[in-house]
């Protein structure tokens, strides 16, 4: 069975500093990979996705993620965080041919002034 | 451009009561899903549907039922509410041509007392 691990439950970062959120997955083949963001009281919004091709993918709000097959990882990065980036971030995977996503437990990001 | 709409946004139920969480999407997506979100647990799939008239169980289906009579609507039914069903419920949809990229509603916060 596939699984998704987000090792960091909570990260605090200063405004203007860089941010990296980790995601590791366990699956036999390369799945579809996603990062979603959830602001307080809101639904989930797609930040970016990887299906195939270039392993560095760009998303909305200045986020990017890099797929590393050898490490089964799909880490999310942002060079300079803004206070509005405070939210919960979820990594999700979906095997090709299956339209069900599996989600990590989430990482809460706090941005301090 | 409504996307996925869930009603109600909040609800308090007494133990043993029943209710239906409504979900409708206007994107003509054939796949629809119900997830529940509990703190520190990420999202767990309750039920999903690959098209009108077709539904199947996800990871945590016990205590819930669904139906899919139209492409647009995918209601979730709780028959005998229990405190363990206190959670935030998300409906989502996706289309078969786009991989499992899911579009989410704003969620329903349910408390069972």
Residue pLDDT, tens place only, B74-88? 999 999 999 999 999
Give per-residue burial for A69-92: e unless 16+ CB within 10 Å, then b: eeebbbbbebeebeeebbbbbbbb
> Quick one: average pLDDT of A41-53?
91
Instruction: Determine which of B100, B104, B106, B108 to mutate to test the interface with A (most A C-beta atoms within 10 Å).
Output: B100
Contact assignment for B100 to A101 by CB distance below 8 Å: yes
> pLDDT tens-digit profile of B5-35?
999 999 999 999 999 999 999 999 999 999 9
Sign, CA dihedral A96-A32-B39-B36, equals negative
As a whole number of angstroms, the distance between CA B60 and CA A44 comes to 20
- Residue B8, preceding peptide bond in cis (omega within 30° of 0): yes
> Quick one: average pLDDT of A32-56?
92
- Rounded to whole angstroms, what are the CA distances from A95 to A43, A80, B26, B58, B67? 23, 32, 26, 15, 25
Which among A42, A96, A103 has the least Cβ separation from residue B42? A103
- Smallest Cα distance from A6 to chain B, Å: 10
Confidence grade of residue B38 (pLDDT, cut at 50, 70, 90): very high
Neighbours of B33 (CB within 10 A): 26
- Rounded to whole angstroms, what are the CA distances from A13 to A19, A78, A91, A111, B110? 7, 11, 19, 5, 32
Q: Is the pLDDT of residue A98 over 90?
A: no
In this complex, how many residue pairs, one in chain A and one in chain B, have their CB atoms less than 8 Å apart? Answer: 61
Sign, CA dihedral A34-B46-B51-B69, equals negative
pLDDT score for A76:
98
pLDDT score for B97:
67
- List of chain B residues whose C-beta atoms are within 8 Å of the C-beta of residue A96: 99
> pLDDT tens-digit profile of A13-39?
999 999 999 999 998 788 899 999 999
CB–CB of A42/B106 below 8 Å?
Answer: yes
* Contacts of A1 by beta carbon, 8 Å cutoff, 6+ apart: none
* Contacts of B39 by beta carbon, 8 Å cutoff, 6+ apart: none
> pLDDT tens-digit profile of A59-95?
999 999 999 999 999 999 999 999 999 999 999 998 8
As a whole number of angstroms, the distance between CA B52 and CA B54 comes to 6
Which among B58, B103, B104 has the least Cβ separation from residue A100? B58
Contact assignment for A94 to B45 by CB distance below 8 Å: no
Confidence grade of residue A40 (pLDDT, cut at 50, 70, 90): confident
> pLDDT tens-digit profile of B50-61?
999 999 999 999
- List of chain A residues whose C-beta atoms are within 8 Å of the C-beta of residue B41: 105
Task: Record the tokens describing residue B89, joined without a space.
Answer: 């419920």
- List of chain B residues whose C-beta atoms are within 8 Å of the C-beta of residue A36: 104
In the stretch 1-30 of chain B, residues with CB closer than 8 A to chain A read 4
CB–CB of A9/A50 below 8 Å?
Answer: no
């Amino acid at each position: 069975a596939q699984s998704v691990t987000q090792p960091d439950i909570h990260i605090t970062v200063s405004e203007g500093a860089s941010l990296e959120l980790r995601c590791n997955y366990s699956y036999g083949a390369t799945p579809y990979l996603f990062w979603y963001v959830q602001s307080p009281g809101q639904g989930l919004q797609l930040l970016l996705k990887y299906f195939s091709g270039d392993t560095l993918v760009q998303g909305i709000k200045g986020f990017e993620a890099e797929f590393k097959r050898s490490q089964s990882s799909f880490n999310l990065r942002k060079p300079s965080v803004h206070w509005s980036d405070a939210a919960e971030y979820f990594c999700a995977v979906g095997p090709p041919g299956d339209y069900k996503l599996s989600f990590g437990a989430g990482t809460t990001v706090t941005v301090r002034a | 451009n409504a996307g996925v709409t869930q009603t109600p946004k909040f609800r308090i139920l007494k133990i043993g009561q029943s209710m239906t969480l409504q979900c409708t999407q206007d994107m003509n997506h054939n796949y629809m899903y119900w997830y529940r979100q509990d703190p520190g647990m990420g999202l767990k799939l309750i039920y999903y549907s690959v098209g009108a008239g077709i539904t199947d169980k996800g990871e945590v289906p016990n205590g819930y039922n669904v139906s899919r009579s139209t492409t647009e609507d995918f209601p979730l039914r709780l028959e005998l509410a229990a405190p363990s069903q206190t959670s935030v419920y998300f409906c989502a949809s996706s289309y078969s041509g786009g991989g499992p990229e899911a579009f989410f509603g704003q969620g329903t916060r349910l408390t069972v007392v």
